[in-house]
Amino acid sequence: MKLLIANGYVVDPVQGINTGRDLFIEDGRVTAVLERGQERPTDVELLDATGLIVAPGFIDLHTHLREPGAEYKETIASGAAAAVAGGWASVCAMPNTDPVNDNAAVTRFIIEQAQRAQLANVFPVGAVTKGLGGKELSEMGEMKAAGIVAISDDGHPVPTGGVMRRAMEYARGFDLPVVDHCQDMSLSAGGVMHEGRWSLILGLRGMPAAAEDMHVVRDCVLSELTGSRVHIAHVSTSGALEAVRRAKANGLPVTCEVAPHHWTLADDALEEYDTNTKMSPPLRSRNHVNALLEGLRDGTIDAIATDHAPHHADEKGLEFDEAPFGIVGLETAVGLAFDLVNQGVIDIERLVSLCAANPARIFGLKDRGSLAPNAHADVTILDPACEWTFDVSRSKSKSRNTPFDGRSMTGAAVATIVGGRLVYLHPDYSRITDSKTRNASAK
């Protein structure tokens, strides 16, 4: 099967391409990026990307798909549908399912369910410790063979330096990056929001920035001790970012990601006790938000990740203290990332680095994150001029927990191609496929 994505503007930071090009795809792989005027192949399906940006398929390093165990919140199929609708060709599924993905059987189940769905690529992340218990190491070698791409005890940070050290040393043998949700639980226990002026006003228990800072510093120190690759999940504080910046300056293999809600909203958003503003790490105060914007600008932040965390409306309808942490994010992340472009924080090339090139590099996803010859034909087509309003009632996710319902954005992912198949097309962009059956060379 041959596919030509013609007339678009290809942005591929890995190859240094940022200009008008046609993308030629055969049998699920990239064949070539063709220059304008170069002879076009014949007998191809044609997608017309005039006025649009053609980028390597976006990769979300941090997704909760809830299956197995909490299918009422999300399934692998519904999560994958939300992913491709948001421009994410690949998602990395966090292990805090029930049962936990701490063994190869669960890993294989996730991969099989994803193959059945035939939408986004799903890369499972395995647990660091059995049952996310923070004590015994999981069988990560076997899970790696079954298909995990990283390990993490997301949501249940490994509490002791001793266990984390062993995990890092052991993971190194399988070239698995260690992902950590950084939070010193002794400092943040019982907290439901950022500790600061707003937690005092609202009378809610705070989670101090120090809880995240200390844990990130610990992991950076352990990275130096063990030589392990460490990826800091959803960085939300200026101190954590500073620790990563220092680790990078010292040449340590430390990377980090940021979630869109952390640069978009601050803790004053909790004023009405809306449980859709409750997440962990929490929305921070404005000075931390500004530090994240600086980290996006100066390159300290490597990746944008959604931390898509679906929860049922009944759960989010509880009192603020009782409601679970987290919001859905797959369908709003790219729009919120375009806010950064529109505000001049980053340019479009850096956006593609943050969403595709760097995530592929961090988790070692071979032949992804770039449109180089023989790469997997995962493509995200973007319209920077698309003005749209997010309507959560039309979301592909099974859950509705978002603070961004009704938010207007400029810039969107309008089509997603996975393995050479068009798996999502924005309803207003049917023109892309209008010329699909025409012979490209006969224009």
Partner 1 sequence: MQFNRKHLLGIRELEAGEIAHLLDTAETFRDVSRREIKKVPALRGRTVINLFFESSTRTRTSFEIAAKRLSADAINISVANSSVSKGETLLDTARNLEAMAPDCIVVRHSMSGAPQHLARMGSAPIVNAGDGSHEHPTQALLDALTIREHKQQIQGLKVAIIGDVLHSRVARSNIHLLTKLGASVSIAGPGSLVPKEFGELVEAGLRVETTLDDAVADADVVMILRIQRERQDAAFFPSMREYAVHYGLKAKHLALAAPDAIVMHPGPINRGVEIASEIADGGRSLILDQVTNGVAVRMAVLYLIAGGGRTELDEKGH
Residues near partner 1 (CB under 8 A) are 190, 196-197, 200-204, 272-274, 314, 317-322
Which two structure tokens, joined as six digits, stand for 265? 């909203």
Task: Kindly tell me which of 43 and 319 has the beta carbon lying closer to partner 1.
Answer: 319
Task: Kindly tell me which of 299 and 324 has the beta carbon lying closer to partner 1.
Answer: 324
Nearest to 278 by CA among 233, 309, 306: 309
Task: Kindly tell me which of 185 and 372 has the beta carbon lying closer to partner 1.
Answer: 185
Task: Kindly tell me which of 271 and 298 has the beta carbon lying closer to partner 1.
Answer: 271
In the complex, minimum distance from the CB of residue 273 to partner 1, in angstroms, rounded to a whole number: 3
Which two structure tokens, joined as six digits, stand for 165? 């050290």
Residue 269 vs residues 27, 44, 151, 155, 192: alpha-carbon distances, Å: 47, 50, 32, 22, 14
- The amino acid present at 195, given as its one-letter code, is E
Task: Kindly tell me which of 322 and 428 has the beta carbon lying closer to partner 1.
Answer: 322
Count the neighbouring beta carbons within 10 Å of the beta carbon of residue 32: 17
In the complex, minimum distance from the CB of residue 280 to partner 1, in angstroms, rounded to a whole number: 17
Nearest to 57 by CA among 319, 323, 389, 416: 416
In the complex, minimum distance from the CB of residue 414 to partner 1, in angstroms, rounded to a whole number: 35
- The amino acid present at 376, given as its one-letter code, is H
Instruction: HSE, CB side, 13 Å, CA atoms: give it for residue 175.
Output: 7
Contacts of residue 159, Cβ cutoff 8 Å, sequence gap at least 6? 134, 185
Catalytic residue among 48, 153, 180, 307: 307
The answer to whether 184 is a known catalytic residue is no
In the complex, minimum distance from the CB of residue 320 to partner 1, in angstroms, rounded to a whole number: 5
Task: Kindly tell me which of 87 and 159 has the beta carbon lying closer to partner 1.
Answer: 159
436 touches 47 (CB < 8 A): yes
In the complex, minimum distance from the CB of residue 203 to partner 1, in angstroms, rounded to a whole number: 3
**Size of the chain in residues:** 443
In the complex, minimum distance from the CB of residue 189 to partner 1, in angstroms, rounded to a whole number: 8
Residue 186, class by beta-carbon neighbours within 10 Å (0-12 exposed, 13-18 middle, 19+ buried)?
Answer: exposed
Residue in the block written with tokens 């293999």? 253
Residues annotated catalytic, as ranges: 307
